[in-house]
């Protein structure tokens, strides 16, 4: 049985590439394409993959942990979740429930107002908006809880099923001395034998800890789909609600990988 693990930080309203990765870990055709490109046998049978939420990662204000973009008539604009300002893992970051936009509008009211104004005339707004509105009506003390409520809702709307595991729930042995060793150890901890990295992994992953454990590393190659948006001109890499309200489902299947980068000395 082949089992794939991937990992991602619990971002706010993630872009489509996040869900492309979530879908890929259970797609035998996609994983088979990666392995075939490495000269390895394609999987005859796959066990359910694991998607690890890196709630242990350091919160960074100007990353995507507490902000993302939606489409407007003028291009795009950020929606930001007000959070306490401190250096800590994402799992410890608290939402400021009284946060306001421009010191006037409560942040939740502002988010929903902007989403309504810019997406109300999209084809699938009425079908999906009530689910998002329900999430906003719930109280969430921690940013990770609020983000995960939206992530789980989006995955359900896109019809993506995955075994989601928080890194903080893994045994202490999953933490290594380096970031790359931690990912290799986490792959072992969930019983997976393949690690699917984001495309950025080419630039930062040290493959040695994976090689030592005989774990092949494959890289996501995500090509953003172009779909009909409400306003003229296409803006890519927005919050996934843009695709959901405009298209009604995941707008593109995980693309077949034509070229892959094998690990050094991989088996």
Give the DSSP per-residue string, 40-87. -PPPSSBPPPEEEE-TTSBP-TTTTSSEEEEEETTEEEEEE--B---S
Is 126 part of any domain? yes
- Full residue range of the structural domain in which residue 14 is found: 1-171+190-195+212-267
Task: Specify the pLDDT at position 265.
Answer: 29
Give the number of domains in the chain: 1
Contact assessment for residue 5 and residue 186, using Cβ atoms and an 8 Å cutoff: yes
Residue 177 maps to a domain: no
pTM: 0.91
205 part of a folded domain: no
Residue-wise pLDDT for 56-85, tens only, equals: 999 999 899 999 999 999 999 999 999 998
Band of pLDDT at residue 255, cut at 50, 70 and 90: very low
CA distances in angstroms from 136 to 71, 133, 139, 190, listed in the order given: 19, 5, 8, 32
Is residue 257 predicted with pLDDT exceeding 80? no
The pLDDT value recorded for residue 258 is 33
| Sign, CA torsion 178/183/189/194 | negative
Q: What's the pLDDT score for residue 228? A: 93
Residue 204 in domain: no
| Predicted confidence (pLDDT) at residue 224 exceeds the cutoff of 70 | yes
pLDDT tens digits, 144-193: 999 999 999 999 999 999 999 999 999 999 999 999 999 999 999 999 99
Mean pLDDT of the chain: 90
- Evaluate whether residue 182 is within a structural domain: no
Torsion of CA 188, 194, 195, 198, to 10 degrees: -170
Going by C-alpha positions, the residue among 234, 223, 215 that lies closest to residue 199 is 223
Given a contact cutoff of 8 angstroms between Cβ atoms, the answer to whether 13 and 241 are in contact is yes
Model confidence at 32, in pLDDT bands (50, 70, 90)?
A: confident
CA angle centred on 87, ends 81 and 89, rounded to 5°? 75
Answer yes or no: is 200 within a domain: no
- Phi-psi region for residue 119, left (φ > 0), alpha (ψ -120 to 50) or beta? alpha
């Amino acid at each position: 049985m082949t089992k794939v693990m991937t990992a991602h930080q619990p971002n706010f309203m993630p872009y489509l590439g996040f869900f492309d990765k979530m879908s890929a870990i259970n797609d035998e055709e996609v994983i088979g394409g990666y392995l075939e490109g490495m000269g390895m046998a394609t999987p005859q049978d796959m066990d359910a993959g694991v998607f690890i939420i890196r709630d242990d990662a350091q919160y960074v204000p100007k990353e995507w942990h507490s902000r993302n973009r939606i489409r407007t008539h003028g291009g795009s604009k950020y929606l930001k979740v007000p959070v306490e300002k401190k250096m800590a893992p994402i799992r410890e970051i608290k939402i400021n429930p009284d946060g306001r936009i421009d010191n006037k509008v409560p942040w939740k009211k502002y988010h929903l107002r902007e989403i309504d104004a810019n997406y109300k005339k999209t084809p699938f707004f009425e079908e999906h908006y009530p689910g998002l509105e329900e999430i906003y009506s719930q109280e969430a003390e921690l940013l990770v809880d609020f983000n995960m409520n939206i992530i789980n809702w989006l995955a359900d709307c896109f019809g993506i099923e995955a075994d989601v595991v928080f890194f903080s729930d893994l045994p202490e042995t999953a933490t290594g001395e380096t970031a790359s060793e931690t990912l290799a150890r986490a792959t072992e901890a969930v019983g997976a034998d393949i690690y699917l990295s984001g495309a950025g992994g080419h630039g930062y992953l040290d493959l040695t800890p994976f090689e030592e454990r005989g774990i092949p590393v494959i890289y996501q190659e995500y090509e953003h789909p172009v779909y009909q948006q409400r306003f003229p001109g296409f803006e890519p890499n927005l919050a996934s609600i843009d695709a959901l309200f405009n298209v009604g489902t995941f707008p593109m299947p995980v693309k077949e990988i034509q070229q892959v980068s094998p690990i050094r000395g991989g088996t």
